[in-house]
Amino acid sequence: MAQPVVSRTQRRIERKQIVLIIILILAVAGVSFSLGVMFGQQSRVGNDLAADTGKPKLPVVTQVVPPPPPPVAEGAEEKQDKLTFYDNLPKGNQAPLGSGINLPPEEQKPAPEAAPKELAKPAAAPVAPPAKPAAVPATAADGGFIVQIASFRTGADAAKLALRLNSYKLKTSVEKVDLGAKGTWHRVLAGPYANRESADQVASLLREKERLSTLVRQR
């Protein structure tokens, strides 16, 4: 049988296919290796965390051993003077530097207590003299002016106000007036006064002290 003749083009294609297959195999192997490494690292970190949480770590304490004291020659201790508190105090006012011995503090005499100073008494505030009630003009039996102070529906209210105004030394009275459709009213009056100036003075006093709407009228 005659063998098929393979052309150069077919050989090149076969070579390319073999190279691609090798490259794919290497790529798959590299990816698998990378994934295995990553998975192994994650597993190791998880195990370390589990071990850390399960077993508490104790601080490592390093003990520092002090160096041994230098050797002392025999007989050196006997040559050293035995220091006492009274025999080795320096002659002076100050202790030597670095000796660790302090002189007793000098006794300080207590300062004489100062005599307590007398506290100045505050000056008493001047007491204002009580205000004198305003002078009220005298009434006149035949005067022609009166002061109408207020009007009330009931006579009891009018009498109550007239009684309270006696503290001003006013001559007050209650007048009952029938106003027809408006009803019966009770007027509180003061006076009579000889002139209008006296009546105006009383009206001004009541407006200032009692906030009343007064009215001056002729009898």
By DSSP bridging, strand 145-152 and strand 184-193 are antiparallel
Which residues are bridge partners to 174 per DSSP? 188
Distance CA 33, CA 27 (A): 10
The confidence band for 79, taking pLDDT boundaries of 50, 70 and 90, is very low
Average pLDDT over residues 3-19: 80
Closest CA to 214 of 146, 158, 142: 146
Residue 142 neighbours by CB under 8 Å, 6+ apart: 192, 194
Provide the whole-model pTM: 0.39
- At 89-118, the pLDDT tens digits run 545 555 555 555 555 556 666 666 665 565
- pLDDT higher for 173 or 74? 173
Does pLDDT of 43 surpass 80? no
173-189 burial, b if ≥16 CB within 10 A, otherwise e?
eeeeeeeeeeeebbbbb
In the predicted model, is pLDDT for residue 172 greater than 50?
Answer: yes
